[in-house]
C-alpha cells in the first residue's frame, strides 16, 4: 500500500500527482514560467482532494529530465525539500521515459515503438526511443541530444507506420517524415501521473535514493556557457 | 524563535541557524569560486547547478553543528532576491518546500537587507537610526535606516558597483576572480602616491556614485606602462592597485560623510563584500572620528554572502508574522525601499 507523490516541470507544462493504492490525483498547469509559484499550491489542493496528509507519502518521484534546465531544478528543488523534510526517498524518472510510458499504457495505442522528441533549443532535440512490450516501454536509445540536421539519421529505427512520435520536437520535423508515422502527438509532454507510476515501479524494486543524492539529467554539460557573463545585473 | 537561513543568490551556497534567544548557532558556506574562476566571472547556469548539489548536504551539516533537530526549527528564511534568477530558485524552492514538509512558516528575504543587518550579529551592534553604505559586487547604495525594515535610498551607483569595479581592475592587473581581496592585497605593496586617480562625482553635490570612469582610467594607466607581456612591471601593478583602491575608498568616504551630515546622524554601518576592505575601514574610522561619528561593520566572513545574515533578517520578518505563501516567488530585481516595515524587533541577546 504505497503512496507516491510526483512532480514534473521539465517542459512549459508542469504537473503534480498523488498516486494512492486506489487511484490517481493529478493537477496540470500549462502556463510557462509560473511553475515555481504553482507547484506547492497545486500539491496542497491535491492532498485535500485526495484526503491524505503529506506524512502518508512513502516516496517522491520527480521528472529528472532532459528538459528545461530551470524547470528541472524547480521540480527537483521542491521535491528535495519535501523528501528531506519528510525523510522519504527521492526517485528520479526520466521525462522521455514518462512520455513513452503514458503512451504504452493506453490500450488504444498499437504501435510497437515510440520516438520521443523534445526541442532542446540551440538547433538540437532531446531524443529517446523505446520498444513497447506488454504495454511497457523498453529503452532502445537512451535520452540524448540530436542536432536538427542529424535527425532522423541519428535514430536507430526506421520511421514507418509501426512507430509513434511523441513530443513538440516532432512539430519541427519535415512534414513528409512525420506523415510516415503510425501515430503522432506533438502536444505530448511528460506528466506527473506517469512519473508517479514509474516511480512506484522503481520504489518496489528497491530504489531508495536519499534526497541529497538527486541530480537532474541535463545532458548538455559544457558547450553552452563558455561565454563570459556579467558578474551581476546592474543596480535596478 | 529558531530559524534556518538559506542563501543561494549568486555564487555561494550558504546556510545558518539563528535563534532570537541564543544568537547565531551555526553557519557554513560552500564557495563556488573555483567553479567560476576559469570564466573570470559567475556563470549563472553553473552556479545554479552547484547550488543543487551543495544545498542539502550543507543544511544537514549546519543542523548537526547547531545540535538542532527539525523539531527545534520554527521557521525557514531564504534569499528571494535580488540575484541570479536560476540560483535564487534553488534556495527558494528547497526552503519553501522544506518549511511545508515541516509545517512551519517560511519567508523570502531581501539579500541586501541581509547584508545591511549583518553588523547586528556582532557583539557590539549599532543602534538605530543610522546611515548604511551597501557596497558589494552588485550594489553601491547609501541608505537611511530609521528602524528595522525602514529603508530610504539616499544615493547609488549610476553604473558599476564598487565591488564590480574592484573585480574589473583585478582582471586588468591579471589577478584572479574575485578580484577585490586580491587588489587590496597587492595595494599594500604599492606606493599610494605615485598615481593619482580621479574621485568620481565628489566635486558636485549629491549622494550618487559612478565607478565606470575609474575603470577606464585604470585601463589607460595599465596600457601606458605595459611591457612586452601586456602588463606593467610588478611594482607598477602594485602602485596602480594602490591608486585604484585609494580612489574608490576616498570616494566612498566622502559620500558617507556627506550622507551622515545630510541625515544629521552619527552612526554609519557598512555592509557587503567591499566593507571587508581594510583600507576602507581605516579611512572611515579616521574621517568619522573627526565629526564625532562611528562606523560599524560585520566580521569579514559576514561582509560577503553568507547564510547568517539571511537567517537573522528572516527571523526578524518571521517574528513580525511576515510569511510567504506556498507559491515560491523570486525577484531578480527588488528595490530595498519597497520592503514592508517591521513592527516587531527583538535584539540579539
Ligand atoms: N577586501 C576587499 N576589498 C575590496 N573588495 C572586496 C573585498 N572583499 C570582497 N570584495 C568584493 O566584494 C564583492 C563580493 O561581495 P558580495 O558577496 O557581497 O557581493 P555579491 O553578493 O556578488 O553582490 P550583491 O550582494 O550586490 O548582490 C566582490 O566584488 C569582491 O571583489
Ligand atoms: Mg551579496
Residue A19 in this model has a pLDDT that exceeds 80: yes
Contact A228 B86 (CB under 8 A): no
Contact B327 A41 (CB under 8 A): yes
User: Residue A163: phi, psi to the nearest 5?
Assistant: -110, 140
Q: What is the DSSP code string of B174-212?
A: TPPSSHHHHHHHHHTTS-TTT-----TT-SSSSS-B--H
Read off the pLDDT of each residue in A152-179 and give the average, rounded to a whole number: 98
What does the pLDDT read at residue B344? 57
What does the pLDDT read at residue A224? 56
Kindly report the average pLDDT of chain B as a whole number. Answer: 96
Q: Ligand 1: which of B180, B183, B306 to mutate, judged by most atoms within 8 Å of the beta carbon?
A: B180
Distances (CA, A) of B213 to B136, B197, B198, B251: 18, 10, 8, 13
Grid coordinates representing B53 are 548539489
Q: What is the DSSP code string of B224-264?
A: HT--TTSS--HHHHHHHHHHHHHHHHHHHHHHHHHHHHHHT
Q: What is the pTM (predicted TM-score) of this model?
A: 0.95
Contact B329 A37 (CB under 8 A): yes
Closest CA relative to residue A130, chosen from A90, A176, A95: A95
**Nearest-CA residue of chain B relative to A73?**
B90
> What's the CA-to-centroid distance between A85 and ligand 2, angstroms?
28
User: What does the DSSP 8-state code read for residue A66?
Assistant: S
Which residues form the pocket of ligand 1, taking CB atoms under 6 Å from any ligand atom?
A: A 232; B 10, 83, 111, 115, 136-139, 163-164, 166-167, 178-181, 184, 272-274, 276-277, 304-305
Q: Could you tell me the strand order of the sheet in which A124-133 lies?
A: A136-147, A124-133, A113-119, A163-166, A183-185
What does the pLDDT read at residue B243? 98
Tell me how crowded residue B140 is: count the other CB atoms within 10 A of its CB.
Answer: 30
Whether B92 contacts chain A with CB within 8 A:
yes
Read off the pLDDT of each residue in A203-226 and give the average, rounded to a whole number: 88
Kindly report the average pLDDT of chain A as a whole number. Answer: 94
**Nearest-CA residue of chain A relative to B159?**
A234
Residue B224 in this model has a pLDDT that exceeds 90: yes
Read off the pLDDT of each residue in B246-263 and give the average, rounded to a whole number: 98
Say what percent of chain A tops pLDDT 90.
92
Provide ipTM, 2 decimals: 0.95
Q: Which ligand is nearest to the CA of B84?
A: 1
Grid coordinates representing B160 are 558599476
Give per-residue pLDDT as tens, B28-47: 999 999 888 888 788 999 99
Pairing of strands A113-119, A124-133: antiparallel
Residues of A with CB under 8 A from a CB of B: 36-41, 43-44, 54, 69-70, 73-74, 76-82, 84-86, 211-212, 215-216, 218, 224-226, 228-236
Grid coordinates representing B136 are 558589494
Residue B256 in this model has a pLDDT that exceeds 60: yes
A56 to chain B, minimum CA–CA distance in Å? Answer: 12
Residue A232 in this model has a pLDDT that exceeds 60: no
Q: What is the DSSP code string of B121-168?
A: GSSSPPPSSEEEEEESSS-EEEEEEEETTEEEEEEEBSSS-HHHHHHH
A131 to chain B, minimum CA–CA distance in Å? Answer: 33
Residue A113 in this model has a pLDDT that exceeds 60: yes
Distance in angstroms (rounded) separating the CA atoms of residues B8 and B51: 7
Whether B96 contacts chain A with CB within 8 A:
yes
Angle, CA A40 vertex, CA B75 and CA A186 arms, to 5°: 155
Give per-residue pLDDT as tens, A183-196: 999 999 999 999 99
Residue A226 in this model has a pLDDT that exceeds 80: no
Ranges A27-31, A127-131, A226-230: which has the least confidence: A226-230
**Nearest-CA residue of chain B relative to A70?**
B86
Give per-residue pLDDT as tens, B81-101: 999 999 999 999 999 999 999
Whether B94 contacts chain A with CB within 8 A:
yes
Give per-residue pLDDT as tens, B106-151: 999 999 999 999 999 999 999 999 999 999 999 999 999 999 999 9
Residue B220 in this model has a pLDDT that exceeds 80: yes
What does the pLDDT read at residue B348? 47
Read off the pLDDT of each residue in B250-276 and give the average, rounded to a whole number: 98
Between B40 and B286, the more confident residue is B286
Angle, CA B62 vertex, CA B60 and CA B66 arms, to 5°: 120
Amino acid at each position: 500500500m504505497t503512496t507516491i507523490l510526483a512532480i514534473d516541470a521539465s517542459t512549459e507544462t508542469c504537473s503534480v500527482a498523488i498516486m494512492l493504492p486506489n487511484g490517481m490525483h493529478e493537477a496540470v498547469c500549462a502556463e510557462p514560467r509560473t511553475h515555481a509559484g504553482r507547484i506547492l499550491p497545486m500539491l496542497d489542493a491535491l492532498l485535500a482532494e485526495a484526503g491524505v496528509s503529506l506524512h502518508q507519502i512513502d516516496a517522491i518521484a520527480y521528472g529528472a529530465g532532459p528538459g528545461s534546465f530551470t524547470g528541472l531544478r524547480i521540480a527537483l528543488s521542491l521535491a528535495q525539500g519535501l523528501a528531506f523534510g519528510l525523510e522519504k526517498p527521492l526517485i528520479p524518472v526520466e521525462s522521455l521515459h514518462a512520455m513513452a510510458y503514458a503512451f504504452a499504457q493506453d490500450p488504444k495505442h498499437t504501435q510497437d515503438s515510440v520516438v520521443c522528441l523534445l526541442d532542446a533549443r540551440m538547433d538540437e532535440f532531446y531524443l529517446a526511443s523505446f520498444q513497447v512490450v506488454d504495454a511497457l516501454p523498453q529503452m532502445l536509445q537512451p535520452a540524448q541530444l540530436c542536432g536538427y540536421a542529424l535527425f532522423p539519421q541519428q535514430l536507430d529505427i526506421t520511421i514507418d507506420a509501426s512507430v509513434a512520435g511523441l513530443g513538440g520536437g516532432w512539430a519541427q520535423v519535415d512534414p513528409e517524415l512525420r506523415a510516415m508515422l503510425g501515430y503522432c502527438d506533438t502536444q505530448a509532454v511528460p506528466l506527473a501521473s506517469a512519473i508517479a507510476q514509474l516511480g512506484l515501479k522503481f520504489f518496489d524494486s528497491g530504489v531508495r535514493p536519499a534526497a541529497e543524492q538527486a541530480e537532474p539529467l541535463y545532458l548538455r554539460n559544457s558547450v553552452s556557457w563558455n561565454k563570459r557573463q556579467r558578474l551581476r545585473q546592474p543596480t535596478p | 524563535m529558531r530559524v534556518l537561513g538559506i542563501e543561494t543568490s549568486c555564487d555561494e551556497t550558504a546556510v545558518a541557524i539563528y535563534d532570537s534567544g541564543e544568537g547565531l548557532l551555526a553557519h557554513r558556506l560552500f564557495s563556488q569560486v573555483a567553479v567560476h574562476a576559469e570564466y573570470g566571472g559567475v556563470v549563472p547556469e553553473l552556479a545554479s547547478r552547484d547550488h543543487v548539489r551543495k544545498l542539502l548536504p550543507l543544511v544537514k551539516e549546519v543542523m548537526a553543528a547547531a545540535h538542532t533537530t527539525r523539531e527545534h526549527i520554527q521557521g525557514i528564511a531564504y534569499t528571494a532576491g535580488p540575484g541570479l534568477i536560476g540560483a535564487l530558485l534553488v534556495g527558494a524552492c528547497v526552503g519553501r518546500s522544506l518549511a511545508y514538509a515541516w509545517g512551519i512558516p517560511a519567508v523570502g528575504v531581501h539579500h541586501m537587507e541581509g547584508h545591511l543587518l549583518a553588523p547586528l550579529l556582532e557583539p557590539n551592534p549599532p543602534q538605530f537610526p543610522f546611515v548604511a553604505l551597501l557596497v558589494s559586487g552588485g550594489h553601491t547604495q547609501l541608505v537611511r535606516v530609521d528602524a528595522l525594515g525602514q529603508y530610504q535610498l539616499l544615493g547609488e551607483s549610476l553604473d558599476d558597483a564598487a565591488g564590480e569595479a574592484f573585480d574589473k581592475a583585478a582582471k586588468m592587473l591579471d589577478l584572479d576572480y574575485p578580484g577585490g581581496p586580491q587588489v587590496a592585497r597587492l595595494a599594500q605593496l604599492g606606493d599610494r602616491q605615485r598615481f593619482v586617480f580621479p574621485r568620481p562625482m565628489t566635486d558636485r553635490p549629491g549622494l550618487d556614485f559612478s565607478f565606470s570612469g575609474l575603470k577606464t582610467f585604470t585601463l589607460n594607466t595599465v596600457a601606458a606602462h605595459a611591457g612586452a607581456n601586456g602588463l606593467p612591471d610588478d611594482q607598477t601593478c602594485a602602485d596602480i592597485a594602490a591608486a585604484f583602491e585609494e580612489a574608490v575608498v576616498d570616494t566612498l568616504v566622502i559620500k558617507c560623510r556627506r550622507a551622515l551630515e545630510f541625515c544629521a546622524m552619527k552612526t554609519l554601518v557598512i555592509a557587503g563584500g567591499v566593507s571587508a576592505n581594510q583600507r576602507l575601514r581605516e579611512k572611515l574610522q579616521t574621517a568619522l572620528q573627526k565629526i564625532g561619528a562611528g562606523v560599524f561593520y560585520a566580521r569579514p566572513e559576514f561582509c560577503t554572502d553568507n547564510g547568517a545574515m539571511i537567517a537573522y533578517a528572516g527571523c526578524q520578518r518571521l517574528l513580525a508574522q511576515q510569511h510567504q505563501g506556498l507559491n515560491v516567488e523570486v525577484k531578480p530585481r527588488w528595490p530595498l525601499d519597497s520592503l514592508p516595515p517591521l513592527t516587531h524587533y527583538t535584539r540579539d541577546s
